[in-house]
């Protein structure tokens, strides 16, 4: 149980002042709390003996008042100290996790699902925070209040009476700990049922269009009803135990009171203790109840906190495979790209995704990459961006291996508009200048014009201030793609990659954008992949990918001449275009 606290050692050390203050304040509170019953007992004894006068009464009453005030101040103090610490450890770890998340590589995100990572960042951190405040509080309070109360019963009242009366208390510990554990286990089951029900709602609402199109609403509702029933059943199981717990506590406490009254009453009669002592003793028994019950809760808190801490530590111990070499080149990319990969296989996969890919791309040229879906186009870019490092071969930029560049230089030099693009839930302006936050409105507009999205933006209710994402305007697929292109252009990358980034715009818009790009980026390198041949036919060189290999390569004219896949596709698409035109 105590090794949980060991794990938090660094944090206790960091905040030792406030922890010391909190713990000392708690102990003083416990002492003051234990003094009250003695004062009340003394007043009663004076009363019975007929020696109670106004002076004595006033003295004791003011003592009680002063104690209450001091306890108020101390309680306020330790709460501030301990709970302040708990939010601090949570934010410290949260920041560490977030920085860590931003540094991880593609392999990491393939291994850990978003849902699990979210669970670490929320549930686990909450459990850790709980130990840092409630754990410390419960432990100190239970030990000090329980210990001091027991001590007072033994020393100030009567040791024999104490021994007899506390006989049933171990049963209380056992019952509360045992039932507490069972309640917790069932509670976890209830939580799981609840979260699965929540997931169901989320998925159904997100996929409502698909659901309706397939007419599956009724079936979905039946499944949902089953889930809600599960939540009810599981919660009922929790309440059953909870309902059993408090009466059992009352029975055991009742037993303690019975013994105290029987034995204590007898002692009062024989003159061994006074009535005031008995009254004080009875309130001590009441005070013992909380520390004993707290033990069960404490074990639970510590166990959960410890497991959560281990999970977070385990996660943080992950070392990314993509690291910077010492003395990495910290210079901007400039020059030709040399791609020479013998073989690359995704981690956890057996078949190579790329084999024998070799090409040179001169600075300022445009490369087109085409090929069937799954042929390896996106994989090519992932290697260039250093998402993956374990391959046979080398990729160099300006005759320097990309692995020898500082990561920052590489990321700054190459911008990609990914196939599955993503916009942040903020304004369109912020999205465009995401990689270059100091851009002026004029510059932002320049890139929007290049990406052929400026006109569209002006038509939105708040122009560039329009918010996108869940709480903002709904953008069409093509609008999203063009904003993502503007965002990539805004960093003025030495090498721009458009990975199927124009798939959702019509052929004419695509042509406009491409000719603008060609003009604007005539001194910089551009790589474009697409399914539409028209998108890449004007490139300086074109590569055709097939099952991870380069099957054809050349200019548009040369590839037409080869009469292979490229020519086939080109003719087919030309025909489709013609038919489309006639149909209109």
- Helix, strand counts (H, E) of the chain: 23, 10
The encoded tokens of residue 386 equal 């250093």
Residue with tokens 């090409």, as numbered in its chain:
359
User: Within positions 107 to 126, which residues make up the interface with ligand ATP, using CB under 6 A?
Assistant: 110
Closest separation in Å from C-beta 498 to ligand ATP: 12
**Does the protein bind ligand ATP through residue 353 (CB under 6 A)?**
yes
> Residue 349 binds what, of Mg ion, ligand ATP, none (CB under 5 to 8 Å, by partner type)?
ligand ATP
Closest separation in Å from C-beta 13 to ligand ATP: 42
Question: Of how many residues is the chain composed?
Answer: 584
Closest separation in Å from C-beta 374 to ligand ATP: 4
Which of residues 12, 47, 318, 346 is near ligand ATP by CB under 6 A?
Answer: 346
- Interface residues with Mg ion (CB under 5 A)? 377-378, 419
Stretch that binds ligand ATP, among 47-55, 355-363, 368-376, 448-456 (CB under 6 A): 368-376
Closest separation in Å from C-beta 548 to ligand ATP: 7
Residue with tokens 């993502």, as numbered in its chain:
484
User: Within positions 133 to 152, which residues make up the interface with ligand ATP, using CB under 6 A?
Assistant: none
> Residue 373 binds what, of Mg ion, ligand ATP, none (CB under 5 to 8 Å, by partner type)?
ligand ATP
Which has the closest alpha carbon to 221: 240, 231, 208? 208
Give residue 537's Cα distance to chain centre: 45
Query: Distance (Å, rounded) from C-alpha 167 to C-alpha 291?
Result: 16
- Return the half-sphere exposure (C-beta side, CA atoms, 13 A cut-off) of residue 153: 24
Helices (H), 385-432: 407-413, 428-432
Distances from the Cα of 164 to the Cα of 256, 260, 285, 463, angstroms: 9, 8, 12, 80
CB-nearest residue to Mg ion:
378
Closest separation in Å from C-beta 379 to Mg ion: 8
Which of residues 349, 442, 470, 582 is near ligand ATP by CB under 6 A?
Answer: 349
The encoded tokens of residue 309 equal 């801490």
Closest separation in Å from C-beta 28 to ligand ATP: 59
Which has the closest alpha carbon to 560: 547, 575, 571, 574? 571
**Does the protein bind ligand ATP through residue 213 (CB under 6 A)?**
no
Closer residue to Mg ion (CB): 380 or 439: 380
User: Within positions 276 to 315, which residues make up the interface with ligand ATP, using CB under 6 A?
Assistant: none
Which of residues 274, 379, 398, 501 is near ligand ATP by CB under 6 A?
Answer: 379
Closer residue to Mg ion (CB): 333 or 530: 530
**Does the protein bind ligand ATP through residue 493 (CB under 6 A)?**
no
Closest separation in Å from C-beta 371 to ligand ATP: 6
The residues near 434 (Cβ < 8 Å, ≥ 6 apart) are: 424, 487, 490
The encoded tokens of residue 250 equal 């009352």
Distances from the Cα of 474 to the Cα of 164, 460, 467, 485, 487, angstroms: 74, 10, 9, 18, 18
Closest separation in Å from C-beta 550 to Mg ion: 16
On whether the CB atoms of residues 453 and 501 are closer than 8 A, the answer is no
B/e letters for 51-66, b = 16+ CB within 10 Å, e = fewer, are ebeeeeeeebeeeeee
**Does the protein bind ligand ATP through residue 420 (CB under 6 A)?**
no
**Does the protein bind ligand ATP through residue 375 (CB under 6 A)?**
yes
User: Within positions 425 to 484, which residues make up the interface with ligand ATP, using CB under 6 A?
Assistant: none
Which of residues 186, 234, 304, 377 is near ligand ATP by CB under 6 A?
Answer: 377
Closest separation in Å from C-beta 384 to Mg ion: 13
Quote the radius of gyration of the chain (alpha carbons, Å). 36
Helices (H), 317-426: 377-384, 407-413
Which of residues 296, 376, 413, 493 is near ligand ATP by CB under 6 A?
Answer: 376
> Residue 4 binds what, of ligand ATP, Mg ion, none (CB under 5 to 8 Å, by partner type)?
none
Residues that bind ligand ATP (CB under 6 A): 110, 346, 349, 353, 371, 373-379, 419, 500
């Amino acid at each position: 149980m105590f090794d949980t606290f060991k794990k938090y050692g660094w944090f206790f050390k960091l905040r030792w002042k406030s922890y010391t203050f909190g713990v000392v304040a708690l102990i003083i509170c416990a002492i003051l709390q234990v003094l009250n019953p003695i004062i009340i007992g003394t007043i009663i004894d004076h009363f019975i003996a007929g020696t109670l006068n106004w002076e004595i009464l006033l003295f004791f009453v003011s003592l009680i008042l002063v104690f209450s005030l001091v306890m108020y101040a101390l309680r306020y103090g330790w709460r501030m100290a301990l709970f302040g610490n708990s939010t601090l450890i949570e934010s410290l770890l949260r920041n560490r996790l977030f920085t860590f998340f931003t540094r991880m590589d593609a392999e990491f995100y393939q291994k850990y699902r978003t849902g699990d990572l979210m669970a670490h960042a929320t549930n686990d951190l909450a459990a850790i925070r709980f130990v840092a405040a409630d754990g410390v509080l419960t432990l100190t309070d239970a030990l000090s209040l329980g210990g001091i109360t027991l001590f007072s019963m033994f020393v100030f009242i009567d040791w024999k009476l104490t021994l007899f009366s506390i006989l049933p208390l171990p049963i209380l510990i056992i019952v509360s700990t045992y039932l507490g554990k069972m309640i917790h286990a069932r509670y976890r089951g209830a939580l799981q049922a609840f979260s699965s029900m929540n997931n169901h709602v989320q998925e159904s609402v997100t996929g409502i269009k698909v659901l309706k199109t397939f007419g599956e609403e009724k079936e979905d509702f039946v499944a949902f009803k089953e889930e809600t029933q599960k939540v009810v059943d599981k919660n009922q199981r929790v309440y059953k135990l909870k309902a059993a717990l408090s009466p059992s506590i009352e029975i055991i406490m009742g037993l303690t009171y019975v013994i105290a009254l029987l034995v204590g009453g007898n002692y009062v009669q024989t003159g061994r203790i006074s009535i005031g002592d008995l009254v004080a003793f009875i309130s001590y028994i009441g005070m013992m109840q909380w520390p004993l019950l707290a033990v069960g809760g404490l074990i639970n808190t510590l166990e959960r906190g410890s497991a959560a801490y281990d999970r977070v530590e385990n996660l943080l111990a992950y070392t990314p495979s993509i690291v910077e070499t010492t003395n990495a080149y910290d210079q901007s990319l400039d020059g030709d790209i040399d791609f020479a990969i013998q073989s690359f296989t995704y981690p956890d996969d057996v078949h190579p995704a790329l084999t024998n890919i070799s090409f040179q791309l001169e600075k300022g040229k445009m490369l087109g990459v085409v090929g069937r879906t799954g042929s390896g186009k996106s994989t090519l870019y992932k290697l260039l961006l250093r998402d993956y490092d374990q391959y046979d071969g080398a990729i160099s930029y300006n005759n320097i291996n990309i692995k020898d560049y500082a990561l920052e230089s590489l990321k700054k030099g190459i911008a990609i508009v990914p196939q599955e693009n993503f916009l942040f839930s903020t304004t369109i302006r912020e999205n465009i200048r995401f990689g270059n936050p100091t851009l002026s409105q004029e510059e932002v507009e320049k890139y929007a014009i290049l990406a052929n999205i400026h006109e569209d933006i002006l038509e939105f209710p708040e122009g560039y201030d329009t918010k996108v994402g869940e709480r903002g305007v709904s953008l069409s697929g093509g609008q999203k793609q063009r904003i993502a292109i503007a965002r990539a252009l805004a960093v003025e990358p030495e090498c721009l990659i458009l990975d199927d980034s124009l798939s959702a715009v019509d052929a004419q818009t695509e042509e406009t954008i491409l000719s603008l790009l060609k003009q604007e980026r005539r001194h910089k390198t551009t790589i474009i992949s697409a399914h539409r041949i028209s998108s890449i036919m004007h490139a300086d060189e074109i590569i055709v990918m097939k099952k991870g290999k380069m099957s054809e390569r050349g200019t548009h004219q040369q590839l037409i001449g080869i009469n292979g896949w490229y020519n086939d596709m080109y003719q087919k698409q030309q025909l489709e275009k013609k038919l489309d035109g006639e149909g209109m």
